[in-house]
Structure formats: structure tokens, C-alpha cells
Amino acid sequence: MLAVMGQPFDSDTHFFEFKWDGYRAAAMVEDGAVRLVSRKGIDLTGRYPALAPLSTLPAGLALDGEIVAFRNGVPSFELVAYRGRAASEPVKFIAFDILYQAFESLMDRPFTERRAALEEVIAHHPCPPLVLSEGVAATGKALYEKACTQGLEGVVAKRLASTYAAGKRNGAWIKIKRRRSVQVVIIGFIEKEGRDFQSLLVASNGIPGGEGGPLLYIGKVGSGFTDAVRAELNALLREHPRAKALVACPERGSWVEPGLYCTVSFAEMTGAGMLRAPVFEGLIHA
């Protein structure tokens, strides 16, 4: 089941859970073995041997959740995505829904019944890598603030009466993601056909929560542009071309003289100092 984007809110018809920054997966138990499958149908079982004890759960169980790796107690998507095979940090399966129990589908039952069944399974069958996703009823704004304080990705709101609509984005689940922002200098762009750009190449010397330093390339931004902004940028990007990049950049781009600045929102900084999931928010006009 998929979620739509939203803003923090309170509602007595919703349950609010932390949004975990990891790999979405289903954990299916049968014949004393567990199989982990991603949302796109990729088998992840062999990649995360630390989750093998899930095989001790009752047969016929299928859980929906997130494979999460922790660095210093905080979920790290970079760690679970690129170091899953060799990570020494804790890897957990954080369950937030139950799809099958004793080989019987629970997907047509309301969320409240599925949540109660999930809590009962976890309480009666403790398993070291299995964790129940934390959540509260009604007070979504407070949980969102707590998620931000703890460095989590955000929260997900789930309508209490909703059934499980596999593969659907019907509005019953709403994800509210924590975003940070930074002001950057546009150092170039990647061209695409038709005198248009595919993405902006940006640099910065100050990331929120960190200290200023030398100007460094921090990523490419390819979303968040309206048609009007795209037209304006296409003109500005070609006014002052430059022969080489202002700072070291691994991309093969077209370069511009410094003078164009914009605000970019992003999910987090990777260990390599790159923006994760950057979105263009607006030009900064002098």
C-alpha cells in the first residue's frame, strides 16, 4: 500500500507512525524460512543475514515493514542501501502492518484490527531483529515534531477504518516527510534535447547543522521546477557560460559563471557529502 504526500495534522480518525528511512519490504514466513521481498518484487533475503531469525515466527505470516540500518541510533538509508551485506551496525525489520496470519489474508480488515493483530504477534513471538513501528492516535503534529527532534524521516498517517489496498495510493495513508533546506550556487547544468536542462549542478559551503567551509559540489537537482521557472532558468543558464567548472565536479555538464543562486530542500546529506532527494524550491534574486 502506498502513501500520498501531506502536511502535519491532527485527526481522531487516523493513527500516526514514525516514517522509517530504509528499504520497504514484505517478510513472509513459511516452512521454517523467511523471504524478504522489496516493493518492486526484488528478493532481499540474502542481503540481510541479520534478519534470518524472522524465520522463527509462525508459519503463514506476512508482514509489511521497513528494513532499517542504524548508525549511532539513527536510521541511515545510505547504510542499508549500500552496505547491507557487510554492515556491522544493527539491522532491524520494523513492522507496521500484517497482511497474512496463518495463511489467511487480513487485508480486507480495517487498519485498527490489523494493528491489534500485529501487536499481538510481536508480543507473543519476540524476535531480536523484529521491532513494532511506534505510533499514536490523533496527535500527528506532536509526533511529527518528535520525529524531527530525533532525526527521523517524518511520520505516516493511516486512516483507522481503511483496508489494505496493495499497490494503491488511495489517500488512506499520508506521508509527512521532514525536509531541510540550503541555499546553493548553481555551477552548471546537464543538457537535454530542445535547449532545455535535465538538472542543475549545485555547490555550497554551508549545510544546515554544519559549519561553513570551502565551496564544494553537493549534487544535481532535477525536480521542483514549474514551466515558468524552467523557462527563466533556461535563459539565465546561457547568459554567462564558463569553460570549466567553478569547483571539482564529476558530472559532464555545461558550466556557468557564479552569480545564480537558489534554495534547495533535501532529505539528508549522504556520507559522501551529497544531497539526497533534492528538490528545487526557488531562485534567489538579488
CATH number of the domain within which 28 lies? 3.30.470.30
Are 197 and 149 part of one and the same domain?
no
Give the chain's domain count. 2
Which among 148, 177, 206 is the end of a domain?
Answer: 177
> Is pLDDT above 80 for 42?
yes
pLDDT of residue 285: 83
Q: 227, 220, 208: which is closest to 253 by C-alpha?
A: 220
Percent of the chain with pLDDT over 90: 79
The identity of residue 5, as a single letter, is: M
Going by C-beta distance under 8 Å and a sequence separation of 6 or more, which residues neighbour residue 284?
A: 183, 261, 262, 263
Are 70 and 145 part of one and the same domain?
yes
53 by Cβ neighbours in 10 Å (0-12 / 13-18 / 19+) ranks as middle
Are 141 and 128 part of one and the same domain?
yes
Are 239 and 157 part of one and the same domain?
no
Are 45 and 166 part of one and the same domain?
yes
pLDDT of residue 85: 44
191 by Cβ neighbours in 10 Å (0-12 / 13-18 / 19+) ranks as middle
Residue 276's pLDDT band (cuts 50, 70, 90): confident
- pTM assigned to the model: 0.74
Which among 146, 177, 208 is the end of a domain?
Answer: 177
Are 170 and 225 part of one and the same domain?
no
pLDDT of residue 84: 47
Q: Are strands 279-284 and 154-159 parallel, antiparallel or unpaired?
A: unpaired
Out of 19, 158, 177, 220, the active site residue is: 19
Are 167 and 203 part of one and the same domain?
no
Is residue 177 annotated as a catalytic residue, yes or no? no
* Residue 264 belongs to domain spanning: 180-284
pLDDT tens per residue, range 159-180: 999 999 999 999 999 999 888 8
The identity of residue 177, as a single letter, is: K
pLDDT tens per residue, range 46-104: 999 999 999 999 999 999 999 999 888 888 888 888 654 444 568 999 999 999 999 99
